[in-house]
Structure 1
Amino acid sequence: MNRQDDIKKAVEVMKNGGVILYPTDTVWGIGCDATNAEAVAKVYKIKQRDDSKALICLVDSDARLQRYVRNAPEVAWNVMELATKPTTVIFDEAVNLAPNLIAEDGSIAMRITNEEFSKELCYRFQKPIVSTSANISGQPAAQNYCDISEELLNAVDYVCFSRRQEHKPHTPSSIIKIKNNGEIDIIRK
């Protein structure tokens, strides 16, 4: 299957409330429509994760990110622009997302992806995509397709074909919380 058909199928599945496994700018991810509460609930169930722990979302651009965060502080744009590795930023005041995706304090973790496949997937989907590591909660994240458990492969509605042959080290993103007042906390380096 070529990349365009792979993306088209993944987008179709997410538009219908389904859950996908897909390669990202970091590790393989479990994804769905970040605005669909039922789809988000499926992801929590698949991960066997408490829904009080918020999930990360991917977007393709700063313009799209701004539709889902009420007041992104200026320092956030500088951090994302200057980051040398994929960096997820936790923003205060999430809007227009599934309520069960937003943390109890109203924040949301968002990352602008620059990796070719996930960026195009986000662009074609036209909404944020949940991006939580492809593993059962508490187990190691799947760096490559070959690391994904059979249990997960069978639990989702679609598994992307792109980058399945890849065998190289990948690491999760850095996570930084930036409050509206500009205060920064490093959650994960």
Structure 2
Amino acid sequence: MKEELNKCLNVLKKGGLILYPTDTIWGIGCDATNYDAVQKVFELKKRAESKALVCLVHDYKMLNQYIENIPEVAYDILKYAQKPTTIIYDKAKLVAENVVGEDESLAVRVAKDKFCNDLVKKFKRPLVSTSANISGKPSPKNFKEISDEILKGVDYVVNLHQNKNMAKPSAIIKLGSDGMVKVLRK
């Protein structure tokens, strides 16, 4: 696993894209603070830039670095969540402007998967984590379902868990600074 981490870190530091197994499904990743790298993700996925992307962080301390104000309820939601949970927060900071929603929000998940968590921790920046599919197409449930277009469009494919069926996408909850809580995907 150490060798895979180092290969990913080299690609990410150069603004490249990786294809990697996450705590949910196979994802396309890049440095969430690098505008050009994020742009490459939108182009590869043929995704409208108005659709925000999810970022992974490795712990609450890192989460606090990239979100202006985290509502207290977020910690309870994350502590008691039964499955990987992405929370959309108001007012992102220190990330590329094209990873942020039009309303200045940022979707973030604290990575639970050991590989993802170690990668984000060693990279010391949030990592984009978006499904490894062309926009509008189904998300791949396993490595074999990933299209050639995606495989050829990334700079590095992680050589882990390629025979494993992945879980479903994360739950998504939007939290407003005003106390609003809205479940967008269970």
Superposition TM-score tier, normalisation by shorter sequence: over 0.9
* Structure 1, unpaired ranges of 5+: none
TM (norm. structure 2) is 0.98
1:98 pairs, out of 96, 99, 119, with 96
**2:27–2:131: 8 Å Cα contact kept in structure 1?**
yes
Cα distance in 2 between the residues matched to 1:140 and 1:113? 22
What is the CA-CA distance between 1:183 and the residue it aligns to?
1.1
Matched residue, 2:171: 174
Q: What is the aligned counterpart of 1:122 among 115, 120, 123?
A: 120
Matched-pair contact (CA < 8 Å) for 2:24–2:166: no
- Shift in Å, 1:122: 0.9
- What corresponds to 1:147 in structure 2? 145
1:89–1:109 CA contact under 8 A, matched in 2: yes
1-structure distance, mates of 2:70, 2:166: 32
Structure 1 counterpart of 2:128, one-letter code: V
CA distance in 1, matches of 2:166, 2:51: 26
Identity among equivalent positions (%) equals 47
For the aligned residue pairs, the C-alpha RMSD in angstroms reads 0.8
Query: Structure 2 stretches of 5 or more lacking a match?
Result: none
For the pair 1:183 / 2:177, whether they are aligned, the reply is: no
Question: TM-score, with normalisation over the residues of structure 1?
Answer: 0.97
After TM superposition, the structure 1 = structure 2 runs for residues 48-127 of structure 1, keeping only pairs within 5 Å, are 48-127=46-125
Paired positions, count: 186
Q: Deviations over 1:122-167 (max 9, x none)?
A: 111111000000000011111221111111100010110011121x
Residue aligned with 1:66, SS: helix
* Mapped contact 1:144–1:170 kept (Cα < 8 A): no
